[in-house]
Each structure stands twice: as C-alpha cells, then as structure tokens.
Structure 1
Amino acid sequence: MNVKLINNRPVKIWTDEVEESAMRQIENLTTLPFLFHHLAIMPDVHAGMGMPIGGVLACKNAVIPNAVGVDIGCGMCAVKTNWKVDEIPTVVLRKEIMKGIRERIPLGMNHHAEAQDEKYLPQGHDIDKLKEVKGRQHAIRFEVGTLGGGNHFIELQKDEEGTLWIMIHSGSRNLGKQVGDYYNKVAAELNERWYSVVSPELKLPFLARETKEFGMYWSEMNYCIDFAFCNRKLMMERIEEVLADTLEGIEFEPMINIAHNYAAIEHHFGCDVIVHRKGATLAREGVIGIIPGSQGTASYIVEGLGNPDSFCSCSHGAGRALSRKMAIQKLDMNKEIAQLEAKGIVHAIRNQDDMQEASGAYKDIETVIANEADLVKVKTRLLPVAVIKG
C-alpha cells in the first residue's frame, strides 16, 4: 500500500500504477468537503465516470450517485459442482452445455420473449414509493435472468482439483442505469440550487442525507441491488438446469454472491459513514468474495481480512489496462485467440470489436491479487474452461 497526501487528504493506494485520467479523478475526490478520513484505491483502479473504478469513498451524510455508478448492484456469483471437467466430453461441452446456456439466457441487449414470473423479482419493497422502479415493473420482468453486455460474462471454470465451477458477472440491467441517471440529474439540479462548492465539472453531484431525495435514491438503489442479485440467481438456476439435463448426478453447492457497485452505511474509525464501493468488493473479516480475471486468466474465490485502511474492501477484478476503444485499435485478434486456444478455452472472440474484452485489455490478475495480500486471502484459484460474453 502507498500513502499519498493530495489536497491535504490521505489517499491509500494498493498499486504502483495509476493512469493519469484515474489520478485526476482521485485528486477531484480529495476536494469533497464531506470526504471522511481518507480515500482508498484498489489495485484494479482505472478511470470511470466522475469516480475511478476500484475506488472506495467514505462520506459524512452524503451519497453520490456517480460514486455508485449506473450498473447498481453489479456483482459476481459462483457455484461449485461435484463434477470433474475432464469427465465432460468436448462435444458435450460445446454442443449441449454452451448451446443450452445460450438458449436459456438472453445475452447483450436481448431480453426474454416472455415476461418472467414475479416471484423472480425482489420482494419486501414498497414499490409505490419507488418512482423509477415502479415505472419499470413490467419491463424488468423481461430483463430478469439476462446477462447484459459490456464486461458481463458467464464462465465455466475448474479449480486446482479439476472440479467444475460456474461463475457469473452481471448487474441490474437497464433498471440500474435509469435509476442512476435519474438521481444523478436530481443531485446536479439540487447542487446548483444549493450553490454547492462541488464543481459540476467533477461529475460528482451529491444528495445530502437530510433531504427527501436522499431517501428516495437510497430506497431505489437498494431495490436495484436486490434486482441485480435476483438477476444473477435466476441465471444461475437456468445454468444449473442445463447442467442437470446433461451431466447425470451433478450436485451444486450454495451460491456465493457479492456486489461491487453500491453504497452502504457502515461503521469505520468510530463513525457511521456512507461507504461507496464503485468496482470494489466488501472484504470484511470472514466475508467470502469473488475477484475475476479476464476470459483467458484465473479468477479467485477469496476471504476478507477486514483491513480498516481499505474500509474492509478489495478489488472487484483485474481492472482495465486499455480503454475499450484502445483495445479494439491496438490488440491483435489472432494473437489473442491463439493464446486462448493454446489453453483449451472455449472462448467468446469472434471479431476485432471483441478485443475490448480480450485478456490483453486487462491488467495482470496475479499482480492485482499479490498487491492486496493484506486485504484478502485466496481460498480457491479458478481457471477458465468455457466463456460466454455479453
């Protein structure tokens, strides 16, 4: 961990390499008048909207929608099975399992052709009080159980004993984006009315805790977190159905789930504060988390060590080394494919545009994990077997 003093505020960084655009955003965060104690930056840091991905920001009595992000509740889930990967014929993997998953789970911008049962949606929320959520209750019945695009993925993986695992990375689909965009706009309008000292140029408008708008956002954010979990859970159920139809006697352990885009009220350094994790994962002592690599590299099941310096957080993945545009321009598709096929990975690269999610677009996951040895301990190392990208 490196400690820097920026604008007279401590910044604790778990990497030696921070791109210039991300460092400017870090500097902007240190100017916030409600920043609490220090800023924590994870080893997978890279530039985001307003706040860098891989940032952990604790605030006194304020929430910043852009410090949560628009894919509210985005996160990971994983399930271990009792089957060995070597016992699955390649033709079965490709023609039955992967094909079956694609048939049951819409990818990218695609939705279900029919509305899913309401039982798959979050329960226990007062929908009538959730402005944005209420207006999308019909639409999200077509979205729950769908992967989405970008860096979202479904992977079949194997651990060091060769046991088959399932891993999913996905979020709250269009619902989270609509909620995030709406309340970011509300916050910007309120900040202008309040003559806020937080410049609009920073793209960090906030909602003060004593306002009704804070409560509205908080309720809708939590619905989105729950919806993202329901989305991953339904996809996992569908994948398990495919595997059960194909692999006789397969059993599944309980699902591990953890989010990495959200805000929560937590107790740190003697105070109750609002902790924003944008592309960062809870690593409280004993908490089981997931840190994925890229489609050609390892992913990790980890256990939190509860390090107070990171506000009990860790990275959410490898982190981008190249922007999507730069990856498409710079990476050699044939080379990326050759590297995957040399490892026997059933991959998701079809054209040059897919370079934005190639292994070469991401940081080295082994370095990222090594840099956060004081934040988490590794429980299981997983290697990719077959990949589906959104």
Structure 2
Amino acid sequence: MPPKKAGSKLLNWASHIEDNTLAQARETASMPFVHPHVALMPDAHSGMGSAVGTVIPTLGAVIPAAVGVDIGCGMIGVRTGFTKSDVQGGDLAVLRHAIEASIPLSPGNYNIGVDEWDFTAPKLAELEGLAASNAVNLDHSPKWREQLGSLGGGNHFVELCLDETDQVWLFLHSGSRGVGNKIAQKHIKVAQRLCSQWWIDLPNKDLAYLPEGVPEFGRYITDLKWAQRFAFLNRAEMMDRFGAVFAKWMGTEDHRELERINCHHNYTVKEKHGKKDVWLTRKGAVDAHEGVKAIIPGSMGTRSYVVVGKGSAAGLCSAPHGAGRRFSRTEARKRYTLDDLRTRMVGIEFRDGEEFVDEIPDAYKDIDVVMADAVDLVSIEHELRQILNVKGT
C-alpha cells in the first residue's frame, strides 16, 4: 500500500499500528539530524527507544539504542535440491533432536568446544583477524568464540520448510548473541553519558546519539561492524551445521545447496538517501534495494517469504522483517495455553513446552496483511511453509 504521512518526517506503511508505536516513531523522526524522513514498516511495533520496524536515516550521527542490543540479527535461508517427496516418511523428530544436539539453544548455552566441525575454524580466524586489525576490545565477552554457532532465545528459531513448488528449504533466525549485546550495551551507555554531559535535551534517553567527529563515534562504528559480521557468520555457522545433520538424516553426502540468502534486519550501514550520504539504521527491517533478495519470516506456525526488493525511494529501500508482535510475551501468556499452541502447530514437528506459549502464532500480526502492506517495497519470489520448527527458549 502507499505510505501515509504520520507526522513531520514520518511515513507509515502499516495498515494496523498501535498509538504507542506511532508515538515512538514520531519521537525518533523529531531528531534534528534525520534526513530525509523515517520510514515505518508494515510490521512495526513498540520497542526500546525506537519502534521495531523503523528505518532511520541520519546525517552525522548514529543512535546506538535504535540499532538495538541484538546487533546484526537476521535471517538465513538455503534452497536445497530436495523436494517434499524426498523427505516424506522420514522421522522429523529424529531430525529435530539432531538439530538440537548440534546447535546450542537458548541464552547462555554455548558450544562446549569449537573444533567439532571443519568449517568453524575459518570463521573464527576471520573474526579474530578483524578484531585484531581494528582493535576491537572483546574483554567483556571472553566466551565469544563458544557463542559462534549458537541460536539464542526469544523468537530465534531453526526450521525445515517447503516452498510453493515443494522444494525443501533450510531456514533460521539469529543474531550476534551475548557478545553483540555487550557491545551494544557498552555504547548505549556511552551515548547516554555524553548527551547528558553535553546537556542535550532528548525526547527519550534511548535516543541518545553519537555524533561524527568524536572518538566514541568511530569506536562504536568499528565495534558495530565487527558485531554485524559476527552475526552474519553465526548464521552461516548454524546453517552449515544444519546442512550437515540434514544430509546425514537424508542418508546423503551433502544437503545439495542451490542458493543461500543471508540478511540482517537490525543494523546500521552507510547509504545514499534523499541525495545525501546517511547512516541508515534498519531496526527490524531488511535491505530492499532493487533486485536484492531478503527473507521475511512469519511466526512458528505461519508462512514466511523470500522476497526481492523494488528499490522504493520513499521506503528508503527497505522492507518489513517479519510479522511483528501483536501481543507482548506477558499478554500472550495470559491469553493462550499450551493446548492452544499444540492446536496451532498440528502437522508441524516442534519443541513442545509451556516455555514456548508466548511464541504462539496468534501473538504475532497477520503476515499476509504485512506482505500486502509491503507490495510497493518487495515482490514475493517464494512462499515457505514449515514442517519442522526448533525454538530457542
């Protein structure tokens, strides 16, 4: 749908949006260095400081809390050479347990060692080299190496999916784990301290920013780029493991990878918008430049989409990152039960338990409405439906 002007320097693509989300977006758009405008995506909902589903272009400054604490969070999907007929009859519970044994789940669950898989060492070497050459101080996260290849909790997940032609896809959602969180928290506090020190009046303390030209800005961008690369490689590591256990489950040598899409949806990058070079923060949004592929997940019991960007200038070449929450985790637990979750997940192999009730599909917005609202931002290339879901707790 075409965007609606929702305030000074604010365009909104969401047909269903809460008042507090709009209020947060208006606060963000009021920052003096925003250019040309803030774009509110179809899946937008309230978040810390800035609403999730907000695209924020800034001149000469970056807001660390707007990027968020899960730096580089995003999606990775692999299209395989297998089809539905190849996996039919296989015991999906066996595959699920193999995934759970290979990818540490939940916050604080790390790899016991880092030498089990041959493909892990090159990723660690790249990250170590980047940290050394850019003086990235990781003393706050002595176990960051053990975090590579771990899922995390909340709405992070691993799925086996079928597309509209019954092609098999491997699919997962994760970010920069504890190390990214520590980096984010460190720089959010620095920005808040400096804005307070400079007597800057902010509409919200989580809109504290770092201006170009001060050493703290350069340090944040350097650390941010490292964390974004960690998140990208973390997804790649888990996908390599998923592919290995899937191939073993299939009784083959490899998982017949035909295509791989790995995209962030919480990050900052330098781009040109409104005829100027800006720092573009996508807080819950994907890159949708013309021809760029991305992944937009639904919920654990609904469809997801592989999309191609249309390069919408008004949309800041961005698109939604998922369904977006309809109810908070607390509210979802009040409304729904484990039996409700089991009913919604009929036909899908999943981790059963009370701890997953707040991830019930009903707690999320209707992904079909989100995609209809995004029609001017992306075109749909593939529609995925899950047959297996593994959630982090």
Alignment of 1:227-238 (within 5 A): 227-238=230-241
CA deviation digits over 1:13-51, x for unaligned, max 9?
Answer: 111221122122112112211111211000000011000
Q: 1:209 aligns with which of 171, 193, 212?
A: 212
Matches within 5 A, 1:172-211: 172-199=176-203, 201-211=204-214
Q: Hey, what's the Cα distance between the residues in 2 that align with 1:74 and 1:26?
A: 21
Over the matched positions of the two proteins, sequence identity in percent amounts to 36
Matched, 1:320 2:325: yes
> Contact conserved, 2:72 with 2:232, CA < 8 A, in 1?
yes
| RMSD, matched Cα | 1.6
Residue in 2 aligned with 1:60? 59
Partner residue, 2:221: 218
Deviation (angstroms), 1:132: 4.0
Compared CA separation, residues 385 and 165, structure 1 to 2 (3 A): same
**Higher mean displacement: 108-117 or 374-383:** 108-117
How far apart are the structure 2 equivalents of 1:285 and 1:175? 32
What amino acid maps onto 1:318 in structure 2?
A
Shift of 1:303: 0.2
Deviation at 1:275, TM superposition (A): 0.6
What is residue 147 of structure 1 aligned with on the other side?
151
Pairing 1:10-89 to 2, within 5 Å after superposition: 10-89=9-88
Quote the residue 2:314 is aligned against. 309
Say which is worse superposed, 188-197 or 144-153, in terms of deviation: 188-197
Q: Which runs of 5+ in 1 are unaligned?
A: none
1:253 is displaced (CA, Å) by 1.6
Offset of residue 128 of structure 1: 6.4
The answer for the alignment partner of 1:3 in structure 2 is: 4
Aligned residue number for residue 98 of structure 1 = 96
Q: Name the SS for the 1:374 alignment partner.
A: coil
Mark the CA change 1:24 to 1:99 in structure 2 (over 3 Å): closer, same or farther: same
Shift of the alpha carbon at 1:202?
4.0
287-296 vs 81-90, which moves further = 81-90
Letter in 2 for 1:312: C
Query: Distance between the aligned counterparts of 1:286 and 1:204, measured in 2?
Result: 32
- Give 1:339 shift: 2.5
**1:173-224: per-residue Cα shift (whole Å, max 9, x none)?**
001110110000000111111111324x342100001111111000100101
AA matched with 2:61: A
Deviation for aligned residue 1:4: 2.4
1:223 maps to amino acid: W
State yes or no: 1:288 paired with 2:287.
no
SS at match of 2:39: strand
Determine the structure 1 residue equivalent to 2:244.
241
Aligned partners of 2:114 and 2:6: how far apart in 1?
52
Are the structure 2 counterparts of residues 31 and 261 from structure 1 closer, same or farther at C-alpha, using a change threshold of 3 Å?
A: same
Work out whether residues 128 and 134 of structure 1, in 8 Å CA contact, stay in contact via their aligned partners in 2: no
Opposite residue 368 of structure 1, the aligned amino acid is: V
Q: Deviations over 1:112-158 (max 9, x none)?
A: 1114555222445243654543543x411111001000100000000
Q: Is the 8 A contact 1:3 1:10 kept in 2?
A: no
Contact 1:78 1:255 in 2 (8 A): yes
1:166 is matched with which residue: 170, 182, 185? 170
User: TM-score of the superposition, structure 1-length normalised?
Assistant: 0.94
Separation in 1 of the partners of 2:298 and 2:6? 31
Give the counterpart letter for 1:4 in structure 2: K
CA distance in 1 between partners of 2:59 and 2:318 (Å): 18
Q: CA deviation at 1:347?
A: 2.2
Note the C-alpha offset of 1:89: 4.3
Gaps of 5+ in 2: none
CA distance in 1, matches of 2:65, 2:278: 17
Give 2:349's aligned residue: 346
Query: Could you tell me whether the CA contact under 8 Å between 1:39 and 1:57 is conserved in 2?
Result: yes
Q: Conserved in 1, the CA contact under 8 Å of 2:44 and 2:53?
A: yes
Instruction: Specify the code of the residue in structure 2 equivalent to 1:65.
Output: P
Q: Report the Cα distance in structure 2 between the residues aligned to 1:254 and 1:377, rounded to whole angstroms.
A: 18
Aligned with residue 330 of structure 1, among 312, 332, 335? 335
- Equivalent in 357, 368, 371 of residue 369 of structure 1: 371
SS at match of 2:35: strand
How many residues get paired?
A: 382
Letter in 2 for 1:347: F
